[in-house]
Structure 1
Amino acid sequence: MFHKRHPQVGAAPGTLVIPADAPTPRVRQILYSIDGLKSDRTITDLDQLEAAPAAGVSWVDIQGFGDERLLIELGEIYGLHPLLLEDVVNVPQRAKVELHDDNLLIVLRMVRVDENAEITVEQIGVVLGEDYVLTFQECYGDVFDPIRKRITAGHRRFKEKRADYLAYAIADSVIDHYYPALEVIGERLEEMEEEAVMAPTTAILQKIQFMKNRLLNLRRALWPQREALHSMVWETNALVSEEVRLYLRDTYDHCVQTTEVIEMYRDMISGMLNTYLSSMANRTNEVMRVLTIVSTIFIPMSFLAGVYGMNFDDMPILHWKFGYAMFWSLAITLAVGMLVFFGRKGWLRPQETKNQKPD
């Protein structure tokens, strides 16, 4: 469910809410220009931050919000609006794109898949300036290692482009990492669908409900991102060049595609729930069919036992020497005869569906 960290009622705008278990911030700065990588180092004191080189870009990555003083000081260094800093720290926020003074705020939802195929969703705040990009992450670890490797290797596009291209690459990496998550979900849905048909239990119902909630959360993360990327593509902004907007169109297409896959999976979940209910109904019908057959077989036996259980002295074969044996012979004969009749009618087992060739 949705749980947002928000300040107390009546608190001043821009108030930061830092949870007690928030990890200590790790700050890393990458500087590069048309000449290639200048530096890539971990910052232990904000005084160590350097300005972007001439015709270059500074990328400052902050992972962890456990130090409010450091975050406020960082905001002062880069002239971040208090409301902007509040949006990147008080998570989760709705994915959006907002212009604050000379900075463009991009809020996205980052999805990661670990080695156990578990999916986690985390907010990523991207602040785009004229010659710098700030990324704010609430936890350690991200999906940006390929970007760092391309910068370190001196990829031509990074060297020749401005900071807006780096912001695009970050947004593109966030969206592209939805594909592995969707592949994991698709595999699990196939397994669950087979299980729902072959062995419907309350456990599979719990799995269906869990996956339904997960898809709902992913959909809630993707739809606002789709709108945010759409605004970056079609709305003119001094911080985003026409060339980068062209690249962003491709990212927007990927976002639309992943959204459509999410909708398809949600339809599959709804169909799977119907399949589960149908399978349970079929199993109930099978049980009732067996019980009905057993009851039907015992009805004539119960009738005979009831007749000869009456308290009358003058009844046929009541005092006969072989009356008891005759009763059991008649009862067994009736039971066997009914089983044979039910078998010929095909009521003892489900009818097998025969494969029919199309005309």
Structure 2
Amino acid sequence: MPSVPSLPKRGSDKDQRNGDKDPAPRIRIPTARAIVDCGVYVDGTRLPGKYTHQAAMAEVREQGRGFVWVGLLAPDEGQMESVAETFGLHELMVEDAVHAHQRPKLERYDDVLFLVLRTVNYVPHESVATASEIVETGEIMVFVGADFVITVRHGDHSPLANVRHALEANQERLALGPYAVLHAVADHVVDTYLEVTQAIEEDVDGMEEAVFSPRSSVAVEHIYLLKREIVELRKSVNPLSNPLLRLTRSPGNPVPKEIRRYFRDVLDHHTTVAERIAEYDEVLSSLVDAALAKIAVQQNTDMRKISAWVAIAAVPTMIAGIYGMNFDNMPELHWQYGYHGVVLVIASVTVGLFVTFRRNHWL
């Protein structure tokens, strides 16, 4: 059977309109722009000199000991792919590192451990009534291998420079390897949880005092704002409990025994933070109920006042309405002191009603 000649492939209408021109090439940003710091550590000591991530990895594998610590700040896809190619990271890990907004989790890809932590920061403000945001969040991803650790940070807060300096000053701890860095980062993040919850406690106490003050008026929207921030904090903190448990107790855990002991302390601090957040959430729920009850009581008080004044105003309105009718034969219509008598009756009745309502705390 004779073969049918293939027809040339027809381009899309857009390609034809553009004259079949190739799209403009994408400008690649160097990986060094995203690297905050890169160091080589051998026996707990940082080797002198500056390294690229490729040179640092080559140095460690040439010596056959030590590890590399690379710190990145909000890398794009191209920058992260360069790092992944050097350290052999899985593509799914790279995707999570580039696209933030991940839940705290712990995953293992072959010999690489991947931990996602949510960072939180307390936004200073004069009062909850004037604040639009109380807690801001970010992320830190940690990749841990046999001879490297990579930290990827998203967000302007929670820098890791102090963590690195503290570890470099503790050679004995740093000599334990990359998992010592993993513990230091997790401990730093959980410590910030403690600081943020302590700062929020002042807002919760201030709101509680304002709600239960006798003559204060608190807008329920302010309580809702604080409760929304507590909910956001809970979503950032609570899911981390399972990864921390796995780092301390999971069978086949690659974390050395010495480091697991330190992770138990981190887990205890995390439990304290989770209990505080649950307590704040319960308090704010009670404050919402109390504020709504207070509003309902105030509305009832206002309605009683309005009803009392309406009753007082009804007396002169009724009498004036009766004597405003156009009839010739009406009692006391032509009496010389009729006007004064009507005014006296109106005044007596209204004063009597006012005293009665005042005595019953309606006015």
TM class, shorter-chain normalised?
0.7 to 0.9
Label 1:139 to 1:303 Cα distance change in 2 as closer, same or farther (>3 A): closer
Deviation at 1:126, TM superposition (A): 0.5
Partner residue in 2 for 1:49? 56
**Equivalent position SS for 1:315:** coil
**Equivalent position SS for 2:330:** coil
Partner residue in 1 for 2:202? 187
Aligned-residue CA RMSD in angstroms?
Answer: 2.6
**Equivalent position SS for 1:28:** strand
Indicate whether 1:62 and 2:72 are aligned: yes
* Contact 1:25/1:64 (8 A) holds in 2: yes
TM superposition score normalised by structure 2: 0.79
Q: Please give the residue correspondences for 1:140-151 in structure 2 after superposition, counting only pairs within 5 Å.
A: 140-151=156-167
* Contact 2:118/2:138 (8 A) holds in 1: yes
Q: Which amino acid aligns with 1:291?
A: I
Deviation at 1:163, TM superposition (A): 1.7
Of 301, 304, 308, 1:286 maps to 301
* Contact 2:54/2:86 (8 A) holds in 1: no
Partner residue in 1 for 2:226? 211
Deviation at 1:168, TM superposition (A): 0.7
Indicate whether 1:306 and 2:321 are aligned: yes
- What's the CA shift string for 1:99-135, capped at 9, x where partnerless? 1111111111111235659532112110111232110
Deviation at 1:30, TM superposition (A): 2.9
**Equivalent position SS for 2:47:** strand
Deviation at 1:238, TM superposition (A): 5.2
Of 278, 300, 316, 1:263 maps to 278
Q: Which range moved further: 32-41 or 88-97?
A: 32-41
* Contact 2:74/2:98 (8 A) holds in 1: no
Deviation at 1:63, TM superposition (A): 0.6
Partner residue in 1 for 2:146? 130
Label 1:244 to 1:46 Cα distance change in 2 as closer, same or farther (>3 A): closer
Q: Which amino acid aligns with 1:132?
A: F
Of 275, 295, 304, 2:310 maps to 295
Q: Please give the residue correspondences for 1:194-233 in structure 2 after superposition, counting only pairs within 5 Å.
A: 194-197=209-212, 198-200=215-217, 204-233=219-248
Q: Identity of counterpart residues, as a percentage? A: 28
**Equivalent position SS for 1:177:** helix
Q: Which range moved further: 238-247 or 286-295?
A: 238-247
Aligned residues: 321
- What's the CA shift string for 1:304-350, capped at 9, x where partnerless? 223323333223321112211211111111111222233333433xx
C-alpha distance in 1, partners of 2:247/2:49?
A: 29
Indicate whether 1:38 and 2:47 are aligned: yes
C-alpha distance in 1, partners of 2:90/2:223?
A: 43
Indicate whether 1:317 and 2:317 are aligned: no
Q: Which amino acid aligns with 1:128?
A: V
Label 1:29 to 1:55 Cα distance change in 2 as closer, same or farther (>3 A): same
C-alpha distance in 2, partners of 1:237/1:89?
A: 29
Deviation at 1:196, TM superposition (A): 4.2
C-alpha distance in 1, partners of 2:87/2:45?
A: 24
* Contact 1:26/1:64 (8 A) holds in 2: no
Partner residue in 2 for 1:104? 113
* Contact 1:37/1:151 (8 A) holds in 2: no
C-alpha distance in 2, partners of 1:39/1:100?
A: 32
**Equivalent position SS for 2:362:** coil
Label 1:163 to 1:47 Cα distance change in 2 as closer, same or farther (>3 A): closer
Rg bigger for which structure? 2
Partner residue in 2 for 1:330? 345
Q: Which amino acid aligns with 2:66?
A: G
- What's the CA shift string for 1:142-161, capped at 9, x where partnerless? 24343223134x22442442
* Contact 2:70/2:149 (8 A) holds in 1: yes
Q: Which amino acid aligns with 1:233?
A: T
Of 78, 86, 102, 2:87 maps to 78
Gaps (5+ residues) in structure 2?
A: 1-28, 126-132
Gaps (5+ residues) in structure 1?
A: 1-19, 349-359
- What's the CA shift string for 1:25-52, capped at 9, x where partnerless? 13311333436333485x6x54443544
Structure 1 runs (4+) greater than 6 angstroms displaced: none
C-alpha distance in 1, partners of 2:322/2:222?
A: 54
TM superposition score normalised by structure 1: 0.80
Q: Which amino acid aligns with 2:320?
A: A
C-alpha distance in 2, partners of 1:189/1:40?
A: 49
**Equivalent position SS for 2:139:** strand
Deviation at 1:228, TM superposition (A): 0.9
Partner residue in 2 for 1:5? none
Partner residue in 2 for 1:273? 288
Label 1:212 to 1:118 Cα distance change in 2 as closer, same or farther (>3 A): closer
